[in-house]
Amino acid sequence: MNEQDGQDGRGRQERADAVDREMAARLLPGPVVRALGRWWETNAAAYADGTPGAHTVRCTPGRWAQITPWPVTLAPTSASGDAAVSRAEVASAAADALQRKAFTEALVATYVWGKGKRGTPGGSGPATLHKILAFDGLDTALAGAVTALHEHGAPQAYAALKGQVPGLGPAFFTKFLYFTGLALEPVHGVRPLILDRVLARRMRRMAAAVGRESGHDPDGSIAAWVWSDSNWTPHRYRIYLSFMHAAANQMAKDENWPPPPPGAAADLLECALFNVGWETSD
């Protein structure tokens, strides 16, 4: 399967597949494991339950005044100043909305959390979301993704949304899938995770190192191709989920990481990986 149409043939995909296999076998390298351990040492009190539910961002509700439907569990858009919203609060808002099949309301909660303080009146946050909500097929697309997640799994739900809604790209619809996955019981297969530009760049850095060491990608061009900044294929999302869930189990065995069962949660690893950097020689 080619990552994208129009690329230069089977050989490139075979090299990408070879790097993926090497990454699946090696998982997180030592410098990354140590960086994650330092992150946990600093943040253990905040995430004492072993989940990233306390992960909080700041937003300005008044900047989203044009957006409806507005989740009742979030601070009202009439409120002045900033408000804090955590993953746990967004998960609650999404679960409440999904119980009522209010799929667009669930999307609003996840989108506002994802934008945080970057949402400015008339700017890329509220303005883009307003256009997304105006799309006639939005509710059908979101409902189809939720059904696919429940019945088939996260990669299929990703495929159901990719390219279906103008303005809604993977960096934000994977947030919708992630919070939807927390609300759904059961989810078929592994739970969805957020994949955005920052996390793709973390994966790209690890893939480039593995490619150099294994000889499958000496110049890093394969890593740059498959772990681009956006527009990842459903195949790439499947690879990401497989790696992250396996890496979460790897970290759960480390003495500097919370033990299972909650410590094995892949979303805690996703949250940490988003926030850490590492030196190759560390």
- The domain limits of the chain are 10-43+196-275, 56-183
258, 240, 267, 186: which is closest to 24 by C-alpha? 240
Reported as a single tens digit per residue, the pLDDT across 158-203 is 999 999 999 999 999 999 999 999 998 777 889 999 999 999 999 9
Q: Is the pLDDT of residue 123 over 90?
A: no
Question: What is the average per-residue pLDDT within 82-90?
Answer: 96
Classify strands 56-59 and 83-86 as parallel, antiparallel or unpaired.
antiparallel
Residue with tokens 């926030």: 275
Is the predicted pLDDT of residue 281 greater than 80, yes or no? no
The phi, psi pair for 54, rounded to 5°, reads: -85, -5
pLDDT tens profile 142-159: 999 999 999 999 999 999
What is the average pLDDT across 95-122? 88
Split at pLDDT 50, 70, 90, the class of 6 is very low
Mean predicted confidence (pLDDT) in 88-98: 96
Tokens of 75: 């601070």
Mutual angle of helices 197-214 and 10-26, in 10-degree steps: 90
